[in-house]
């Protein structure tokens, strides 16, 4: 079965994002564009999480639809719980800036992740894409300790800043970035800095999925 999915996008609670980026409008434009499955984005933000609880219903394990869409047919658009987290930290004598996409299997798992991030001092109200001082290894440990079924995908992996392979603040390998969690990183996101063909020239990516999402800030 073919599914058209965009799993990396942002809500109206992220910086520099259209105030139209709410669930109904996102679903409406996904339907117009032929997108079957959307990431919710920003599940760490308390106000957005409240909207996710109020406006979504689970129709299959980990899959959500709008509770009562005003526009007919929007229930055909499915959602999966997602967020992007920005980690800024020091490792190996260098400042690292990494963005990671997290996909979660349910609202209760998201609630636990948010609770643990808040315990670590993350200001989740500050932005839909929170900035944390946790390394990618520490973030992976936190996420998988409360949600073993979660997925972590390094975002826009070749962007010079804020990425796994970024020349300005990244790493030279997945293992250097994620340590012992290397075998749980099943995919990377291309972003605008590369395409799948370029990525598959890297040996450690030969057996990993190459994903390309919009990182949308407006409909």
Count Cβ atoms within 10 A of the Cβ of residue 2 and give its class: 0-12 exposed, 13-18 middle, 19 or more buried.
exposed
pLDDT tens-place string over residues 136-182: 999 999 999 999 999 999 999 999 999 999 999 999 999 999 999 99
Give the pLDDT confidence score for residue 161 in this predicted structure.
93
d(CA 25, CA 31): 10
Report yes or no on whether pTM surpasses 0.85: yes
15 in Cβ contact with 127 (< 8 Å): yes
d(CA 95, CA 83): 23
Among 178, 206, 43, 40, CA closest to 98: 178
pLDDT tens-place string over residues 71-122: 778 889 999 999 999 999 999 999 999 999 999 999 999 999 999 999 999 9
């Amino acid at each position: 079965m073919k599914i058209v999915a965009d799993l990396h996008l942002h809500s109206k609670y992220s910086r520099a994002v259209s105030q139209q980026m709410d669930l109904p409008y996102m679903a409406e434009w996904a339907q117009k564009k032929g997108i079957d499955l959307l990431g919710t984005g920003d599940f760490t933000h308390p106000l957005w999480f409240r909207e996710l609880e109020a406006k979504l219903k689970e129709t299959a394990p980990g899959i959500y639809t709008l509770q009562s869409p005003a526009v007919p047919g929007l229930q055909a658009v499915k959602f999966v719980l997602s967020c992007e987290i920005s980690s800024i930290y020091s490792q190996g004598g260098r400042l690292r800036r990494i963005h990671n996409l997290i996909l979660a299997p349910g609202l209760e798992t998201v609630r636990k992740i948010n609770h643990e991030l808040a315990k670590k001092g993350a200001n989740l109200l500050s932005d839909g894409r929170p900035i944390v001082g946790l390394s990618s290894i520490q973030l992976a440990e936190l996420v998988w300790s409360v949600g073993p079924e979660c997925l972590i995908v390094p975002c826009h992996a070749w962007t010079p800043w804020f990425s796994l392979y970024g020349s300005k603040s990244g790493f030279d390998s997945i293992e250097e970035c994620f340590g012992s969690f290397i075998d749980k990183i099943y995919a990377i996101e291309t972003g605008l800095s590369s395409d799948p063909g370029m990525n598959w020239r890297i040996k450690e990516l030969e057996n990993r999925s190459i994903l390309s999402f919009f990182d949308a800030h407006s409909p």
